[in-house]
């Protein structure tokens, strides 16, 4: 297999593996569960749900949406302020993440109204609660029905109300209690509101909703251009409460009095996150830097497989093959050397070759010093006169401009004589 076929095989194998992986991910994608018990919180038709208020707001509000994404999506999206004016959060099950808290506060400061119907402080933690689907729905139903009231998880030390400088303690009764609520800031008339909780507040706060005994039932916390409304009751928004008193009217006026009347119910922190299909997840991935890299790799592979064999034009003339013969190269180089007459360079090359031959390649000092050293050491020997003659000839070739090829030949003969004496001695 040549290189071209090998590369094509590798690209085809990689694309096949990628297609198989995409098919496997598509087959393993979870399908939407349409079970009645796992429907989002806005559709709960039992007495603990908020379907009643959701249906009423659909008739009177500009728009009613179900929020199923983390609040971090709100950060940096100014256009969401015009889409969502009021965000209702009622007794969430999941804790609030630190980044979500920052994004939520920035959204409020940009002009949003956050309404919290809480029985306890909303914990802020980066640890997500375990349990999805039926397990989470079962826990939520039992919690609202009061069956596992003593089994609730302990609150984290950090909470949203604690960050706002407020402490909430709620006394819960099994029976409904009707109370007259007066809304101070929005010039609302008095409404008969039915709840099961009696809140007690501590901290520096501004009461927005009070009863006839001037006891605060709801707090107003201004934030920038928006505000946070905290209600110390989670039953005030339930379906059962809608049938007891004027709860639905009060909630409707509270939502419509802010902004353009665009309302959203938080369902993400009840465990009902938005389920996205394989196609939408793939499109979102392709918009990331890794997705662009994947698209470029796929495009490069396709171009290599299908366009590599296509010629980009016709060859009109075959280029002549350049022939290189050894004798012609030798003649060219010899003529170049003959023209240059490098007698000095040739003499040095003869001396260097002699030094390397006699030391068997173990020359540790410059060849000029080695030649002089040999001449001094062999003065009393027969080779001494040959070394002196060799140095004289070498000096003449290096310094005399009138040196010719005959002097170079005689230097080579002297070097050969020294080499013969050296071999005879050793």
What CATH number does the domain containing 255 carry? 3.40.50
Write phi, then psi, for 323 (nearest 5 degrees): -100, 130
Same domain, 334 and 260: no
Q: Helix, strand, or coil here: 376?
A: helix
Q: Which domain holds residue 294?
A: 3-24+279-306
Q: How many domains does the chain have?
A: 3
Indicate whether this model's pTM tops 0.75. no
Same domain, 18 and 66: no
CB-side neighbour CA atoms (13 Å) of 37: 11
pLDDT value for 113: 92
DSSP track, 120-182:
S--BB-SSPPP--THHHHHHHHHHHHTTTGGGPPPPPS-BHHHHTTEEEEEEEEEEEEEEEEE
Angle at alpha carbon of residue 29, lines to 24 and 33, rounded to 5°: 155
Which residues are CB-contacts of 385 (< 8 A; sequence separation ≥ 6)? none
CB atoms within 10 A of CB 210: 17
Q: Is 129 exposed, middle or buried (0-12, 13-18, 19+ CB in 10 A)?
A: middle
Same domain, 38 and 16: no
Same domain, 252 and 132: yes
What stretches in the chain show pLDDT beneath 70? 1, 28-41, 43, 45-46, 76-82, 126-157, 186, 274-278, 280, 307-324, 336-341, 426
Same domain, 17 and 158: no
Q: How far is CA 235 from the centre of its chain?
A: 42
Structure tokens, 48? 């603990």
pLDDT value for 23: 79
pLDDT value for 173: 86
Q: Is residue 313 part of a domain?
A: no
pLDDT value for 142: 43
Same domain, 19 and 51: no
pLDDT value for 37: 44
Q: Is residue 57 part of a domain?
A: yes
Same domain, 284 and 270: no
Same domain, 267 and 283: no
Q: Is residue 411 part of a domain?
A: yes
Q: Is residue 324 part of a domain?
A: no
pLDDT value for 86: 93
Q: Is residue 209 part of a domain?
A: yes
Q: Is residue 401 part of a domain?
A: yes
pLDDT value for 315: 58
Same domain, 204 and 94: yes
Same domain, 289 and 194: no
| Dihedral angle, C-alpha 398, 400, 402, 403, nearest 10 ° | -40
Same domain, 112 and 167: yes
Same domain, 267 and 302: no
Rounded CA separation 220/205 (Å) = 7
Q: Is residue 322 part of a domain?
A: no
CB atoms within 10 A of CB 265: 23
């Amino acid at each position: 297999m040549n290189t071209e076929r090998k590369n094509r095989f590798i690209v085809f194998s990689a694309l096949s593996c990628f297609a198989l992986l995409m098919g496997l991910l598509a087959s393993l994608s979870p399908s939407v569960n349409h079970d009645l018990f796992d429907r989002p919180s806005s559709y709960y038709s039992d007495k603990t749900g908020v379907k009643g208020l959701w249906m009423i707001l659909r008739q009177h509000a500009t728009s009613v949406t179900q929020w199923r994404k983390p609040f971090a999506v709100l950060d940096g999206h100014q256009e969401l302020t015009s889409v969502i004016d009021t965000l209702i959060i009622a007794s969430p099950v999941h804790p609030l993440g630190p980044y979500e808290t920052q994004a939520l506060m920035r959204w409020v400061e940009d002009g949003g109204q956050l309404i919290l119907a809480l029985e306890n402080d909303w914990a802020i933690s980066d640890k997500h609660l375990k349990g999805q689907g039926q397990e989470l729905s079962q826990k939520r139903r039992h919690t609202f029905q009061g069956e596992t009231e003593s089994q609730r998880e302990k609150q984290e030390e950090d909470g949203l109300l604690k960050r706002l400088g407020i402490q909430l303690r709620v006394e819960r009764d099994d029976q409904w209690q009707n109370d007259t609520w007066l809304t101070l800031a929005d010039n609302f008339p008095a409404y008969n509101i039915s709840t099961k909780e009696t809140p007690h507040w501590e901290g520096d706060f501004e009461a927005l909703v009070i009863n006839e005994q001037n006891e605060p039932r709801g707090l107003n916390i201004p934030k920038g251009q928006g505000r946070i409304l905290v209600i110390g009751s989670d039953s005030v928004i339930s379906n059962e409460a809608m049938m007891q008193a004027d709860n639905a009217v009060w909630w409707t006026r509270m939502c419509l009095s802010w902004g353009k009347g665009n309302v959203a119910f938080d369902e993400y922190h009840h465990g009902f996150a938005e389920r996205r299909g394989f196609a939408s997840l793939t499109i979102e991935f392709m918009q990331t830097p890794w997705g662009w890299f994947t698209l470029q790799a796929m495009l490069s592979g396709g171009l290599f497989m299908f366009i590599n064999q296509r010629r980009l034009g016709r060859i009109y003339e075959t280029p002549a093959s350049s022939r290189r013969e050894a004798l012609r190269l030798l003649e060219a180089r010899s003529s170049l050397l003959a023209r240059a007459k490098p007698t000095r360079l040739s003499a040095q090359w003869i001396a260097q070759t002699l030094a390397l031959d006699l030391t068997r390649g173990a020359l540790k000092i410059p060849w000029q010093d080695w030649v002089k050293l040999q001449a001094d050491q062999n003065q009393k020997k027969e080779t001494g006169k040959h070394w002196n003659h060799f140095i004289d000839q070498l000096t003449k070739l290096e310094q005399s401009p009138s040196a010719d090829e005959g002097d170079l030949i005689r230097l080579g003969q002297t070097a050969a004589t020294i080499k013969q004496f050296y071999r005879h001695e050793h």
